[in-house]
Amino acid sequence: MTLFPDHLRQQSLASTTRDKYTSILDSTSGRDPVKWLHERLNSKTPIGTVLPFRAAVKHYLLSQGYDDEEIAQLLPKARGAPNALRDSLSAEQLTTYYLAAEEVSDPVRTILLLLPRTGLRISEICHLRMEDVVRRGNIVGFQFRGKRSEERFVPLNRAALQALNHYIAAMQPTDWLFLGNKGQPITPEAVRKVTRRIAEEYPELDGLSPHQLRHTHATTLLKRGADLRTVQALLGHRSITTTARYLHPDAEMLRDAVNRLDQE
């Protein structure tokens, strides 16, 4: 097991991903990770759970010197129950959300205002530095290394830029853009705690999470005519297949499609 952390550090994995894989391996409590994986998975296990479990054990086996062919024979296929569809926020819900976000104190307030306007992963926005706020010509945006340490530029629209400028003028950050405790960046869990509280206070926002806000951003882009390649670049997906799967039609889009029948 001692080789595992060294192996993960050598991979192009985000620190949050490395921490997640380490946590999964720790949960095996010293048992054979392959046997543990087979016991944990069944046809009812959500695919969103299957994939990180399998990936963690795969990286463990790689750290122990197994090759890809051996690993393919040892590990179960990545099958599982499909994740439940998670609708993006409707226009009405988004209005309620922004009003609720305005009542939160900074830095979480500004993070909440930016999430549905940028589509950043919660881990990405929490680890932004002041130097990541850049200007390309007359376009201001975030330029940073996201998942897999790949560089990405995400431009800010007028509302996002206004929220960011107001925050910087008031808080005057110097290193980490969104500072938490003890000079460290704010944690994703600190933001999730607030979204859970908002969901409790506003029943129409039940299930609210940073990931739902990322989904809302992507779905809004799709509704307004952005092509998949552009959305793929903005979200930082390696494969366009991931983007296409991510952008399933939400309830509003399905309703609007059916309502077109009334025009006959």
**Which has the closest alpha carbon to 235: 250, 213, 252?**
213
pLDDT at res. 213: 94
Per-residue model confidence (pLDDT) at position 92: 87
* Set 166, 211, 223, 248: catalytic member: 211
How many angstroms separate the Cα of 234 from the Cα of each of 1, 59, 139? 37, 28, 15
Any catalytic annotation for residue 214? yes
CB 159 within 8 A of CB 117: yes
Tokens read off for 26: 């720790």
Is residue 237 among the annotated active site residues?
Answer: yes
Active site residue 246: yes
Position 258 scores a pLDDT of 72
Sign of CA dihedral 192, 198, 201, 203: negative
Which pLDDT score, from 0 to 100, does residue 43 have? 60
Using DSSP's 3-state secondary structure scheme, residue 176 falls into strand
> Which pLDDT score, from 0 to 100, does residue 75 have?
86
Rounded to the nearest 10°, the torsion over CA 88, 100, 127, 237 is 10
Among the options 54, 117, 214, 215, which is catalytic? 214
The active-site residue out of 54, 147, 215, 217 is 147
Q: Is 58 a catalytic residue?
A: no
pLDDT along the chain (264 residues), means of 10: 77 74 86 87 66 85 86 76 64 91 94 96 94 95 81 93 95 95 92 94 90 90 84 80 65 67 63
